[in-house]
Structure 1
Amino acid sequence: MPKKRGYHHGNLRQALVEAALKLIEEKGPTGFTLSEAAKEAGVTPAAVYRHFEGRDDLIAEAARQGYEIFADVMQFAYDKGQPSALAAFEATGRAYLAFARKYPGHYIAMFESGISVNRTPELAAVATRASGVLERAASDLSEHIPPEKRPPASMFSAHIWALSHGVVELFARNSPGRHSPFPPEDLLESGIGVYLRGLGLIEADD
């Protein structure tokens, strides 16, 4: 009798998360059942409840792991851009797009599943760590703006997060019926450029 895949991995909890990520990519966060996740992991449905109370609990764990990866990706981009505040800031914006492309299941669990980042203390903590990297990059860059004209770093970073998220949602994830004549990377870079020129942080184009 073949060994069930979930137990073969030696970590049933993680096997279930990986199964959920695959199903999320294929069917969306509400398009699968716990029984399907169990089947994908190669275990019985009853085994799922030893680790997760329900589907939302499973998706929340997928989101938590996604935020861990996301925070690391953002931190790497920020560090790579140093010592230039501008390079570090722009790198974190591009890292958002790169993450969404490389980890679509995690991205959906994090931003499209309806799971609150405050569902668990662990999820809230890592989500805060991820957003903190972008806010720190914004704060570094805003030091070059006179204090009386300087937007709060949290607002500054929220604007760029929203811009990055919009580009991902509309043009980087094959949204039905939508097509841009420009690569998502170019859209994001030009959008950030317009924003930063408006703040006087980079020179206007000739």
Structure 2
Amino acid sequence: MSKRGYHHGNLRQALIDAALVLIEAKGPTGFTLSEAAKTAGVTPAAVYRHFEGREDLIAEIALQGFAVFADLLAYAYDSGQPSALASFEAVGRAYLAFARKYPGHYVAMFESGISMQRTPELHTVADRALGVLERAAEDLSKQIPEAHRPPPQMVSAHIWAMSHGVVELFARGTPGARCPFPPEDLLESGIGIYLRGLGLIPQDK
């Protein structure tokens, strides 16, 4: 592949796309900026026109990922109406769908060690994604007296952690992790058990 240096038409996005390929193949710390440049077909020096280092590149991938993630969760929540529970479960399924469809972004967002506070833009878009879960938890809580409602931030954090666990263990082909149930069923049943324990949905008859 020839080196196109500074004349690449969209160097910034080309480097992001190259890094996504490398992240999926080697993980977020398994490649160098020089490898990203080589994969993109540009000179290593050209990378520094846009990124100071590998972490800046990964942070940009995380930013793009969170933007798509937030939109996907919001769409799932809105499409799950009229039931608050259906909307909540739709958000969980959207979480798994995102992890499958955008594995490189998912790793950059949650497994690279990049802080969500790294830049104001990244913090804002990550908060927007978490806000969908918090809104779903708040809507579910409206059926019980305010004094007994769990904080929506706590509920959303627990569901986020549960979703991430299902992704890590069963939704991405982790070696040695075997389960007779589809990841979607695992997450949905886990969410149901959790929400019933909090009194947010009725117990099964």
**TM class, shorter-chain normalised?**
over 0.9
Q: 1:135 to 1:44 in 2, by over 3 A?
A: same
Aligned twin of 1:43: 42
Shift of residue 199 of structure 1?
A: 2.5
TM-score by length of 1: 0.94
- What RMSD, in angstroms, separates the aligned Cα atoms of the two structures? 1.8
Matches within 5 A, 1:123-138: 123-138=122-137
Structure 2 distance, partners of 1:6, 1:139, is 50
Shift of residue 148 of structure 1?
A: 2.5
Q: Is the 8 A contact 1:6 1:41 kept in 2?
A: no
Matches within 5 A, 1:25-40: 25-40=24-39
Structure 1 distance, partners of 2:128, 2:194, is 24
Q: What are the ranges of 5 or more consecutive residues in structure 2 without an aligned counterpart?
A: none
Q: Is the 8 A contact 2:66 2:126 kept in 1?
A: yes
Structure 1 distance, partners of 2:6, 2:25, is 20
Q: What are the ranges of 5 or more consecutive residues in structure 1 without an aligned counterpart?
A: none
Q: Is the 8 A contact 1:34 1:48 kept in 2?
A: yes
Q: Which amino acid aligns with 1:36?
A: E
TM-score by length of 2: 0.94
Segments ≥4 residues shifted beyond 2 Å: 1-8, 199-206
> Aligned residues: percent identity?
76
Aligned twin of 2:116: 117
Q: 1:26-82 CA distances to partner (integer Å, 9 max, x unpaired)?
A: 000000010110011110000000000000000000000000000000010011012
Matches within 5 A, 1:1-206: 4=4, 10-206=9-205
Structure 2 distance, partners of 1:203, 1:72, is 30
Structure 1 distance, partners of 2:65, 2:5, is 23
Shift of residue 3 of structure 1?
A: 7.7
Structure 1 distance, partners of 2:182, 2:28, is 27
Q: Is the 8 A contact 1:6 1:16 kept in 2?
A: no
Q: Tell me the number of residue pairs that the alignment of Structure 1 and Structure 2 aligns.
A: 205
Structure 1 distance, partners of 2:112, 2:94, is 21
Shift of residue 204 of structure 1?
A: 2.7
